Structure 1
Amino acid sequence: MARQSLREQLLDAGFRTIWNSGYAATGVRDIVAAADARPGSFTNHFASKEEFAGEVLDRYFAYVSGLVEAALAQDGTSPVGRLRRYLDVITSKLEAHDWARGCMIGNLSLETAVHSEPLRLQLVAIFERWRQPFAACIAEGQAAGDITRAFDADDLADFLLSSWQGAMLRMKVERSPAPLERFKKIIFSTVFAKEPTQ
């Protein structure tokens, strides 16, 4: 029987290692060791660490997209309630790692955007796709009068994702959920609050 390819094993190990340690601190040797693979096996499957990180990033975004789909699902919960549900789900996952790990998309944006044009472009595309379900949920809330119509739904979705990434950055620095809770408190009492009736 032919030996199973180590490709998936390397990707699984790299996913964990890059998320825990970051891109710069993770060497090919670390990935190979975490996969319990032979030296040299990495180059049989990947042309470079950069290409490998791109595949890990796609895998992570697929994971996040599943969380987004579940949280924003139209199940009778209001659009604002679904947005809150997403942020609360992510908060619970961040807590499980003692507020230290953050979001791989945000982490790689900080680490690689200046040094890797392919990864930067991949991140641009990810943010575009990531924004879409949030914009749709926000537009639904705007139509119901539950979210301000002073701003375009796409712009509000960008604002939500960008500000949430900033809150997670502060969370990692402080090792505390306080920045996340502060963000949620402000956003749900301002742009994601009911518009005052005239």
Structure 2
Amino acid sequence: MARQSLRENLLQAGFQTIWNSGYSAAGVRDIVAAAGARPGSFTNHFASKEDFAGEVLERYFAYVSGLVENALARDGTPPLGRLRRYLDVITSKLEAHEWARGCMIGNLSLETAVHSEPLRLRLVDIFERWRRPFAACIAEGQTAGEITKAFDAEDLADFLLSSWQGAMLRMKVERSPEPLERFKKIIFSTVFGKETA
């Protein structure tokens, strides 16, 4: 069996370190130590901490994209049911961390967008890619008469993701699922409600 590369060990260790501590508190020394690597090995594989964090973000987004793909899969469930399924899946993931962790993409958006232009641009790209499958599902719901056509599907997808990030932020502050459940209740009875179609 092939031995895992040091680069891969660093990425895995960094993923957990950034996830647990945030970008600023995750020192390169901590990441190297968690990977069981020698000091100085980090710079052999990554140009900078920003470059490293960008790769960690892509790894996290790949994980989230898998959740999106499964939840929004066309399996006979109506579009609104698939959107709700995604939010419920994420809610269960957040519960497993006692409402304290949130989304790494949202967390790093708050923490790094002001201070790191490369990470800000990486996050802009991630949000663009993240929005697409939701926009497609919403457009399908609009065609079926389930979702209002008063707004463009892309705008509704953006609104959904942005508002959900805000609900997760409040969830972390309150250490409670209440902001998530409130968000779901309101969005499915207004923007994604039958009465707006």
The interval holding the TM-score normalised by the smaller chain is over 0.9
Q: Is the 8 A contact 1:100 1:171 kept in 2?
A: yes
Task: Give runs of aligned pairs for residues 105-120 of structure 1, distance below 5 A.
Answer: 105-120=105-120
Q: Is the 8 A contact 2:10 2:42 kept in 1?
A: yes
Distance, in Å, in 2 between the alignment partners of 1:176 and 1:36 is 36
Match of 1:77 in 2: 77
Task: Give runs of aligned pairs for residues 19-168 of structure 1, distance below 5 A.
Answer: 19-168=19-168
Question: CA, structure 1 residues 24+196, in 2 after alignment: closer, same or farther (shift >3 Å)?
Answer: closer
Q: CA deviation at 1:196?
A: 5.9
Q: In the alignment, residue 32 of structure 1 is paired with which amino acid?
A: V
Ranges in structure 2 where 5+ consecutive residues have no aligned partner: none
Distance, in Å, in 2 between the alignment partners of 1:107 and 1:4 is 29
Q: In the alignment, residue 113 of structure 1 is paired with which amino acid?
A: A
The alignment's TM-score, normalised by the length of structure 2, stands at 0.96
Q: CA deviation at 1:6?
A: 0.5
Secondary structure in 1 matching 2:189:
coil
Distance, in Å, in 2 between the alignment partners of 1:102 and 1:4 is 29
Secondary structure in 2 matching 1:30:
helix
Question: CA, structure 1 residues 4+12, in 2 after alignment: closer, same or farther (shift >3 Å)?
Answer: closer
Distance, in Å, in 2 between the alignment partners of 1:5 and 1:60 is 19
Q: Is the 8 A contact 1:98 1:175 kept in 2?
A: yes
Q: CA deviation at 1:152?
A: 0.6
Deviations 1:65-104 (A, max 9, x none): 0000000000000000000000000000000011111000
Q: Is the 8 A contact 2:100 2:172 kept in 1?
A: yes
Secondary structure in 1 matching 2:194:
coil
Question: CA, structure 1 residues 92+146, in 2 after alignment: closer, same or farther (shift >3 Å)?
Answer: same
Distance, in Å, in 2 between the alignment partners of 1:147 and 1:181 is 20
Ranges in structure 1 where 5+ consecutive residues have no aligned partner: none
Q: Is the 8 A contact 1:32 1:41 kept in 2?
A: yes
Match of 1:13 in 2: 13
Q: Is the 8 A contact 1:146 1:195 kept in 2?
A: no
Distance, in Å, in 2 between the alignment partners of 1:49 and 1:39 is 14
Q: Is the 8 A contact 2:148 2:196 kept in 1?
A: no
Distance, in Å, in 1 between the alignment partners of 2:3 and 2:43 is 17
Q: Which moved more, 1:187-196 or 1:60-69?
A: 187-196
Q: CA deviation at 1:37?
A: 1.3
Q: CA deviation at 1:193?
A: 1.1
The alignment's TM-score, normalised by the length of structure 1, stands at 0.96
Secondary structure in 2 matching 1:188:
helix
Give the percent of matched residue pairs that are identical in Structure 1 and Structure 2. 88
Distance, in Å, in 2 between the alignment partners of 1:19 and 1:5 is 21
Match of 2:185 in 1: 185
Secondary structure in 2 matching 1:54:
helix
Q: CA deviation at 1:195?
A: 3.6
Q: CA deviation at 1:44?
A: 1.1
Q: Is the 8 A contact 1:141 1:147 kept in 2?
A: yes
Q: In the alignment, residue 88 of structure 2 is paired with which amino acid?
A: D
